[in-house]
Amino acid sequence: MHNKFEALARLGYIARGVVYLSLGGLALASAIWGMGNGAEGSSDALSSLLGLPFGRVLLGLVAVGLLGYVLWKLAQGLLNADNRDDDLQGFVTRAGQLISGGANLFLMLSAARLALSMGRGSGDGEEAASAWLLQQPFGPFLLSMVACGVLAAGGVQAWYGASHGYRKRLSLPSAHRQWMDPVCAFGLVARGVVFAIVGGFLFYAAFTVSPENAGGTAEALDYVHSLPFGPFLYGLVALGLVAFGVYSVIEGLYRQVEAPDMGDVRAAAGL
């Protein structure tokens, strides 16, 4: 690894994987055995980690990892750490990375609160972030812009998985490529679908100027469950979220990470 920032970025991907493995696992258990009271959100997944041995220590590591993930998203969005092209797709992707960083900041704070025994987190990162945005000047307009970014990011992520675009930045080991490849593709498509539904909720919240309409992952899963063949689709998306958790861990291990150093940060700031 080139620097400590790269190590933090890789830990961030793995921390995101832990959250999605817990989230998808809870949803899958609900789909198969009817456990729980419906779909769970990201903060519920974090809370479930408390029941594990050394749960608070694990949550502390997840919080540190998510901080690294947020910083990496900022580097991707602001510093163009992935060297994306200066075209529409590149700008949309970078905007989505900044939005992801903002949502995961709230999730990181929830993990830190739980690890420090400061009570339960404030819900999904998406919900908390959208509620905060609506309180700002021109809040509905800002939230509608974020909704556009989330919808676009969901579409890009689903296409990224379906077209195997992740292969450009992910060096899968040949010995495990046969099972890693479909898991990565399935996980990305599933999360892209969830993102698109969350984006729709954000548009509705902006239109009604009502933070409680800004649903997160739990509400997206509930919506899937309400569709025709809902229980089957719900289980399929839950399995996809587990696959996305596995993909996140794979990213932490094998993704190309062009981590910036302080010289890059100073250059970007014009110092």
Say yes or no to pLDDT of 245 above 90. Answer: yes
Q: Is 271 part of any domain?
A: no
> What residues form DSSP beta bridges with 255?
170
User: Which one, of 149, 170, 143, lies nearest residue 94 by Cα?
Assistant: 149
Residue 17 tokens read as: 């994987």
Write out the H or E segment, with its range, that includes residue 191: helix 177-208
Say yes or no to pLDDT of 42 above 50. Answer: yes
Q: Is 120 part of any domain?
A: yes
Average pLDDT (20-45) is 73
Q: Is 130 part of any domain?
A: yes
What's this model's pTM, rounded to 2 decimal places?
Answer: 0.83
- The per-residue pLDDT for range 209-221, each reduced to its tens digit, is 776 677 777 888 8
> What residues form DSSP beta bridges with 170?
255
Q: Is 269 part of any domain?
A: no
pLDDT at 270: 57
pLDDT at 179: 94
Contact between residue 40 and residue 24 where contact means Cβ atoms under 8 Å apart: no
Which of 7-16, 23-32, 168-177 bottoms out in mean pLDDT, i.e. has the lowest? 23-32
Count the domains in the chain. 1
Q: Predicted confidence band at 56 (pLDDT cuts at 50, 70, 90)?
A: confident
Report the alpha-carbon distance of residue 167 to residue 10 in Å, rounded. Answer: 17
Q: Predicted confidence band at 1 (pLDDT cuts at 50, 70, 90)?
A: very low
Q: Is 236 part of any domain?
A: yes
**215 or 113: which leads in pLDDT:** 113
Q: Is 66 part of any domain?
A: yes
Q: Is 270 part of any domain?
A: no
Share of residues in the chain with pLDDT > 90 (%): 25
User: Which one, of 110, 95, 84, 105, lies nearest residue 142 by Cα?
Assistant: 95
Average pLDDT (145-171) is 88
- HEC profile for 72-104? HHHHHHHCCCCCCCCCHHHHHHHHHHHHHHHHH
What's the mean pLDDT when you consider all of the chain? 81
**50 or 19: which leads in pLDDT:** 19
- What does the buried/exposed string (b/e) look like for 73-112 if buried means 16 or more CB atoms within 10 Å of the residue's CB? bbbbbbbbbbebeeeeeeebbbbbbbbbbbbbbbbbbbbb
Share of residues in the chain with pLDDT > 70 (%): 84
Could you list the residue range(s) of the whole structural domain that residue 36 is in? 4-264
* Helix (H/G/I), strand (E/B), else coil: 215: coil
Q: Is 97 part of any domain?
A: yes
